[in-house]
Amino acid sequence: MFLPFPGDSSKYVLFHQTGTDNVNLKSSYLYYSVIDMNLNGGMGGVIAGQKYLVALQAGLNPGRAVCKHANGRDWWIVAFKDSSDIVYKFLLSQTGVSAPVQQSLGVTPVVTVFGQRQFSPDGKKMAYLYYDAFAGLANFTLRLFDFDRCTGMFSNTQVISFTETSPGLGLAFSSNSKYLYACTARKIIQLNTDTSDVAASMDTVAIYDGYAYPYPFLQTLFWTMYLAADGKIYITSGNSVIDMHYINHPDSAGIACDVQQHALHLPCYSARGNVYHPNYYLGCDTTLGCPCLLTDVNELSPPDFKFRVYPSPVTNGVLHIGYLLPQNESGMFEVVDVTGKVVF
């Protein structure tokens, strides 16, 4: 997981865990390394003496969750202690990585497989998923918390449990932070986190349709989720396959969210893994009592708008336009001819 170093646009911090227990999927260390993009002729490199620095030595569940601090500059990094209800919290600021602060979440300790953990795009909620294998079934549990971006404290714990015949690991919020999606290997479930009774809002929006390709044993099941910058949620499979699923309109309730199974064809085989990016565009929130700490003039500018238009000149009457807007923001695209007339 890469984070920009607060106050220094040329540096990044890479947080990474060991895989010291391949049987129980536990981790003994949380490391970080500092990267300077000015090294190696602008290609970047790890700064001497700042590689494999130990942020924490403890029995940890794999994976972390990250959220921008309410000051709009620093970062919260959280990691979960194995077989415990303790969460460790670090702050990445201009002075570096802070010593860990721990909080007891007041929930039953997680002692088996830990699924994804995610902050909502607005930074106000955090959720994680896990399951316990018991009597041939998977006790599939979701835990949802409110989060204070200023103090780093979790509160208002909600535990949502349901029994499924397949494990559940995938988790993602919609871009408007209202809906939370969780998946087992064979189901995708939507929950409305803006209601007082989140569990009662549970709605199954997709059931695995039996698709397998290119061999019958390679079932394209559901596994991990990722909310991309185009506002869609992309879902990997637990098997080595060449097709991914996606949720077309995650901000819509029920089946209107439009789950598209095995609709994205990849150029190679892929299994289970997914990317993880926090909301880099989350700004300052003074309502929580934290002052804004914008020290870099670049942070005062609008987010970069990435686009690509080709070919030039246009051939066969076809023009390709690719664009990327931060966090599914809306925009306007216009095509004008040489006289200035808007033609699209």
Percent of the chain past pLDDT 90, that is, above it, reads: 50
Contact by Cβ (8 Å): 28, 62? no
pLDDT band at 298 (very low <50, low <70, confident <90, very high): very low
Mean pLDDT, rounded, for 301-330? 72
- Token duo for residue 321: 């336009």
Residues 168 and 146 in one domain: yes
Mean pLDDT, rounded, for 90-101? 94
Q: Is residue 152 part of a domain?
A: yes
**pLDDT attached to residue 300:** 43
Residues 66 and 178 in one domain: no
Residues 142 and 17 in one domain: no
Residues 239 and 150 in one domain: yes
Residues 59 and 145 in one domain: no
221 vs 84, 92, 133, 235, CA distance in Å?
A: 30, 37, 19, 9
Mean pLDDT, rounded, for 94-101? 93
Q: Is residue 122 part of a domain?
A: yes
Residues 134 and 97 in one domain: no
Residues 188 and 98 in one domain: no
Alpha carbon distance 134, 153 (integer Å): 32
Residues 268 and 139 in one domain: yes
**How many CB atoms lie under 10 A from the CB of residue 287?**
8
**pLDDT attached to residue 135:** 47
Alpha carbon distance 203, 209 (integer Å): 17
Q: 145-159, 161-175, 183-197, 239-253: lowest mean pLDDT where?
A: 161-175
Residues 45 and 143 in one domain: no
Residues 192 and 95 in one domain: no
**pLDDT attached to residue 327:** 57
Count of domains observed in the chain: 2
Q: Is residue 295 part of a domain?
A: no
Among 58, 81, 107, identify where a domain stops. Answer: 107
- Write out the residue range of the structural domain in which residue 125 sits: 112-280
For the domain that residue 176 is a member of, what is the CATH number? 2.130.10.10
* pLDDT tens by residue, 191-234: 999 998 999 999 999 999 999 988 888 899 999 999 998 889 99
* pLDDT tens by residue, 27-59: 888 999 999 999 999 899 999 999 999 999 888
pLDDT of residue 133 exceeding 80: no
Q: Is residue 344 part of a domain?
A: no
**pLDDT attached to residue 24:** 59
Residues 133 and 272 in one domain: yes
Among 261, 280, 299, identify where a domain stops. Answer: 280
Q: Is residue 331 part of a domain?
A: no
pLDDT band at 299 (very low <50, low <70, confident <90, very high): very low
pLDDT of residue 295 exceeding 60: no
Among 280, 308, 331, identify where a domain stops. Answer: 280
**pLDDT attached to residue 110:** 64
pLDDT band at 296 (very low <50, low <70, confident <90, very high): very low
**pLDDT attached to residue 316:** 85
pLDDT of residue 302 exceeding 70: no
Q: Is residue 291 part of a domain?
A: no
pLDDT of residue 138 exceeding 80: no
Alpha carbon distance 249, 231 (integer Å): 7
Of 221, 307, 303, nearest in space to 262 by CA: 221
Residues 24 and 44 in one domain: yes
